[in-house]
Amino acid sequence: MYLINGATGYIGFELYKHLLSTGAQIRVLIRKHDKVFENDQTEIVIGDLENLDALNKACDGITTVFHLAALARVWSKNENDFYRINVTGTNNMLNAAAQNGVKNFVNTSTGGTISPSNKNQLSTEATERTIPFFNLYESTKFEAEQLCKSYALKSNMRIVTVNPPRVFGYGKSTASNGISRLINAYLYTGYRFIPGNGKSIGNYVFIDDLVKGMLLASEKGKSGERYILGGHNLTFIELFDLIKELSGVDKKMFHLPLWLMLFASRIMKVTSALSNKGPAITPEWVKKYLYQWALSSDKAIKDLNYEITPMKTALQKTINDIKQNHG
């Protein structure tokens, strides 16, 4: 039986739907009741990562835990929330899983904890990071990774971390599905902007590949290890060129200078502190565009038999879904 926490999020819900389609028995840990999980294959436990009784109840009789619940934002009024949820919450989840005899534990982290790449070499799970993290989300997710790694040394559980980079595909419109939201904005709004010179490289993973990779990690991953579940390395220019080609919508794009993005993000950050409403982007996040993020998924391909969908195929499915569900 599978347990998913974070099942109401973008990745968690797509994982849940996939498991449901296989006939699996699933338990979800959610903070409040949601009718979407009412079916014969699903048990619901109400609680969060700080409710130890709920965590023990959720882990009872479970074979595999998928740990996705996190504070995944660029900003929070109370910065301690990042540590409380992402680190302490992961520790609570690990303890509950161990106490209840769980065999497999998959911790979902982020590609943001992986080192930037250089001109001649892709970054891997082992690439040494020589620069600080850009925000508290990334730094606390890295702490959670280290916690899982050390826990694996003293536990009989298979504890594996997966690192998805920029996720895209059909499904919920959330911050975790930012690339699909960007495509939607390009197709149906006045959005025509490319960050900086457009040559910053990112790694883009199709949601179907990520979900299948998470299942493979739970079955074949080496305990204590982390795996980049990525896709294709593209510049912003290459990404938008593909969107134009596959969608049939050709818009002239304008480059937004990074200095201007930094200026605007600083104003947003000050405004957020006064209004208690999170900014759309922060100066720290803009600075990520100064680096290259070309990643390798070779370790996952070798150890897990992870497979990557061709970019055009994945992007076409995404565009078709956006067009079908627009409005």
Domain boundaries, the chain: 2-172+205-232+293-308
CA distance 230 to 207: 10
DSSP designation for 31: S
**CA-wise closest residue to 202 among 258, 259, 240:** 240
Nearest Cα neighbor of 164 from 17, 300, 29, 290 is: 300
Most confident of 76-80, 253-257, 313-317: 313-317
Q: What is the pLDDT of residue 176?
A: 67
Mean pLDDT (the chain, rounded): 93
**pLDDT at position 75, please?**
67
- Grouping H, G, I as helix, E, B as strand and the rest as coil, residue 204 is strand
Cβ atoms of residues 166 and 204 within 8 Å: yes
274 band by pLDDT with thresholds 50, 70 and 90 = low
**Confidence grade of residue 268 (pLDDT, cut at 50, 70, 90):** confident
pTM, 2 dp: 0.94
**pLDDT at residue 327 greater than cutoff 60:** no
The Cα 249–Cα 46 span in angstroms is 44
Q: Give 5's strand partners.
A: 29, 67
Six token digits for residue 178: 């930012």
Q: Which residues of 260-294 are buried (b: 16+ CB within 10 A; e: fewer)?
A: ebbebbeebbeebeeeeebbebbbbbbbbbeebbb
Q: What is the pLDDT of residue 43?
A: 98
Sign of the C-alpha dihedral computed for residues 127, 128, 130 and 131 taken in this order? positive
Q: Where are the alpha helices (DSSP H) in 248-297?
A: 258-275, 283-286
SS3 176: helix
CA–CA separation, 275 vs 146, rounded Å?
A: 35
Which is higher by pLDDT, 327 or 39? Answer: 39
- Of the candidate CATH numbers 3.30.2320.80, 3.40.50.720, 3.40.640.10, 3.40.50.1580, the domain formed by 2-172+205-232+293-308 belongs to 3.40.50.720
